[in-house]
Structure 1
Amino acid sequence: MTPFLDVPFLPEEAYIHFINSNSAHIDSIHFSLMGAKRLDNRVDPKSIDNLDTIIRMVEQVKVKNKYLLLNSIFYGPDLLTKNEHLTHLIDCIDKCVNAGVVKGIIYCDQFLLQSLSIEAPGLAKSLEAIPGTNTMLDSQAKISSHLDYIGETNFQLPSKLTLDRSLNRDFEKLTDTVNWCRQGYPEIKIELLANEGCLPFCPYRNSHDAYIALGNHEGDDNSSRINEKFGCRQLLDKQPYRLLQSPFIRPEDVDSYLGQADLILLSGRAQGLDFLKKTVSAYVAKSHDGNLLELLDSMNWLGDQLYIENSALSFDFANMLSVCDNHCSSCGFCMELFRAIARPLNQDQGKRKTEAITV
């Protein structure tokens, strides 16, 4: 059996036991340094400030490949301009390397990558630099450019690349991009993000990531409130059928993508232990009987209001959506499908959701 999943790490003993019991299916984990100053692109996951504790817990994970998340879209100037701040980060990374718990870093901010390369060249040479999902690698030119820029640093080139989720629903472009990668960089594995569950080509994404980064820097995150009032959440609340337009990969469709990709990336650290256990289990089994929303990171909140029967979706669901031309006003496919498989759950939300379903 070839391991194919890249899963989040949580610093919880029960989760470590769960990961180890499924290690035959898991190629890699990604973890955060935690701490008061957020260094990864998530909102308020479980925080453990003691680095020794994090290292000890990551050491317990029986998975070969372990990656450190430094994937905020940007960092406050203090980290890059005040030596004591960057030195502290370098010391933390160095400690992880010496403990043998990190193969590379996942980054989005090229300024951070360059500063680490200059200030700790020896450390950088021992680590891969892997572009994070928010670099949106969706074309040959963008992939080539990112690899060239990594080559300008002391970091190693990545052993894997995560392609942008938009390619999940564009099979022709996905095939062309993967074939180009195989020819030019045969040593690099290809990874696809399966369950983020955001809108296609989300117009709020860049700003949302910036608000998260700003909240991490200032210690006062308002990104969820902003998103609920003005962003994709308010749009999905009014037009929930749009969730079917999201370029997620269902557990049942994984094998059709593994013909192209090597790895399937799962997200959802901020959703907690129960979410991750259910999601990882579904993708290991390549099957999920229940509410599709239980598996989607960004749309998980809708699961308290709506039930989307995953088993009601056709076996060729991914193929059907791959021909989407994004002309929703003249198509109506997703709305009709949504009406057939969705039902409201919450009594208080029921009237509004029923109206949305029957519009």
Structure 2
Amino acid sequence: MKLYVPHTGHLEGLEELLNGSKNIYGIYMAGTPDYVGTGRTNLSAPGLEEIEVQTAYAHEKGVKMEVVLNSSCMGGQHLTPEGYNRINWYFNKLNSIGVDSITVAEPYFVEMLSRDHDMEVVVSVLSFVDSPQKAEFYERLGADTIVIDPVINRDFDKLEAIKDTVSCDLKLLVNEGCLYQCPFRYAHFNFFSHANGPGPKLNVIDDYYYYKCLSLRISDPQQLIKSPWIRPEDLGEYEHITDIFKIGGRTHFPNWILNNVEAYTNRSYDGNLMDLLDCPRDIRDLFYIPNKELDGAISQWEKCNKICNKCGYCKRLAEKIIKVYSTEDGENMLKPLKNEGGH
């Protein structure tokens, strides 16, 4: 198994990760947002000198270095002469540093990197590759690896069709805690791409998408079960698709990341599934999902037709196993979800 692990972008964190586990195949982190943005919030944005030092350190440990430049919207800057020259210069610098791979969401960058640079070209989840047809188009553009849209993590017919259609590598994101079929997904990543990109910087009042998504999961906790995560125990069900798995969470600290590495390496986690998911702390601190009580659920999802209003399996499972943290008389306790008002 090849496990790609998130990294916040500073050397101390990288040292903690690579000294904390021998089971990390590759590290990924954001690049410098002055050139290409990213679809996630950055805790840190390393400059070229920092990337060079960290790439050398990763290589000393036998670990691949991947830089994520997966802006889903460049506002057309990349298609101007000035924008192209600036971005191409940055790609050249990363190439000379020895970065192993670049993750991008912009199709133009896939072709540009494949044609003009030696680094492995990785198509981001923010390219939303969810069909064999789309995967084939990206492979023709020059993709070496495609990170499959997690929305089809439980749609084995589509995963197998993609596997049969392309010859490039496939990578699966295992611990995303986002809404299944999220209506805010495209708009939210476009917002992040501009907020974490070269500018002009936005004077934003609030992150509407974040709080709306948060409120939907709190008011309807079955959405936590529907989220397209893959449990550590279920990795074996995907090995005929790929042996490359990605842990999401480059805004988290090394101890959280290492906990995930241990769980997915051992293919077992006895605790709260929420501990592993890349989702807001507001949700992780509210719900308890006993991971071991999800044993066998993958069998249902493998044959599920994803018509939730006719199925109801995830709703029943949520009501059965999810508990809510509550405080009474100064003591913390867990209460069954089904006793909470409105559920």
Q: TM-score range by the shorter chain?
A: 0.7 to 0.9
- Cα deviation digits, residues 62-96 of structure 1 (max 9, x gap): 2443222111101144454362x554443333233
Residue identity opposite 2:107 in structure 1 = Q
Secondary structure at 1:325 match in 2: coil
Aligned pairs for 1:179-258 (under 5 A) are 179-181=164-166, 185=167, 188-216=168-196, 217-220=199-202, 222=204, 225-230=207-212, 232-258=213-239
| Other-structure match for 1:165 | 150
Residue identity opposite 1:179 in structure 2 = D
**Distance change >3 Å, CA 37–CA 162, structure 1 → 2:** closer
| Other-structure match for 1:92 | 90
**Distance change >3 Å, CA 142–CA 255, structure 1 → 2:** same
How far 1:245 moved relative to its partner? 0.8
| Partner of residue 303 from structure 1, selected from 280, 284, 292 | 284
Residue identity opposite 1:104 in structure 2 = S
Distance, in Å, in 2 between the alignment partners of 1:218 and 1:271 is: 27
Q: Is the 8 A contact 1:138 1:167 kept in 2?
A: yes
Q: Is the 8 A contact 1:338 1:357 kept in 2?
A: no
| Other-structure match for 1:16 | 14
How far 1:331 moved relative to its partner? 3.2
Q: Is the 8 A contact 2:39 2:190 kept in 1?
A: no
Aligned pairs for 1:104-123 (under 5 A) are 104-113=101-110
How far 1:5 moved relative to its partner? 0.6
Q: Is the 8 A contact 2:163 2:241 kept in 1?
A: yes
Distance, in Å, in 1 between the alignment partners of 2:147 and 2:164 is: 15
**Distance change >3 Å, CA 93–CA 327, structure 1 → 2:** closer
Residue identity opposite 2:252 in structure 1 = Q
Distance, in Å, in 2 between the alignment partners of 1:272 and 1:67 is: 18
Residue identity opposite 1:40 in structure 2 = T
Residue identity opposite 1:20 in structure 2 = L
What TM-score, normalized to structure 1?
0.82
How far 1:297 moved relative to its partner? 1.0
**Distance change >3 Å, CA 193–CA 357, structure 1 → 2:** farther
Moved more, 32-41 or 57-66: 32-41
**Distance change >3 Å, CA 113–CA 225, structure 1 → 2:** same
How far 1:269 moved relative to its partner? 0.3
Q: Is the 8 A contact 2:105 2:124 kept in 1?
A: yes
**Distance change >3 Å, CA 114–CA 162, structure 1 → 2:** closer
| Other-structure match for 1:154 | none
| Other-structure match for 1:127 | 119
Matched, 1:47 2:45: yes
Distance, in Å, in 1 between the alignment partners of 2:187 and 2:229 is: 21
Q: Which structure has more RCO (C-alpha within 8 Å, separation ≥ 6)? A: 2
How far 1:190 moved relative to its partner? 2.1
- Cα deviation digits, residues 317-353 of structure 1 (max 9, x gap): 2222223333333433222221222221143999996
How far 1:198 moved relative to its partner? 1.6
Distance, in Å, in 1 between the alignment partners of 2:117 and 2:211 is: 44
Residue identity opposite 1:268 in structure 2 = G
| Other-structure match for 2:323 | 343
The Cα RMSD (Å) is 3.0
Residue identity opposite 1:92 in structure 2 = Y
- Cα deviation digits, residues 195-223 of structure 1 (max 9, x gap): 11222222221111111123224433759
Distance, in Å, in 2 between the alignment partners of 1:65 and 1:126 is: 14
| Other-structure match for 1:272 | 253
Secondary structure at 2:323 match in 1: strand
Secondary structure at 2:122 match in 1: strand
**Distance change >3 Å, CA 66–CA 221, structure 1 → 2:** farther
Matched, 1:67 2:52: no
Identity among equivalent positions (%) equals: 25
Distance, in Å, in 2 between the alignment partners of 1:37 and 1:125 is: 17
**Distance change >3 Å, CA 193–CA 161, structure 1 → 2:** same
Matched, 1:290 2:256: no
* Structure (1/2) with the larger helix percentage: 1
Secondary structure at 1:275 match in 2: helix
**Distance change >3 Å, CA 177–CA 111, structure 1 → 2:** closer
How far 1:189 moved relative to its partner? 2.2
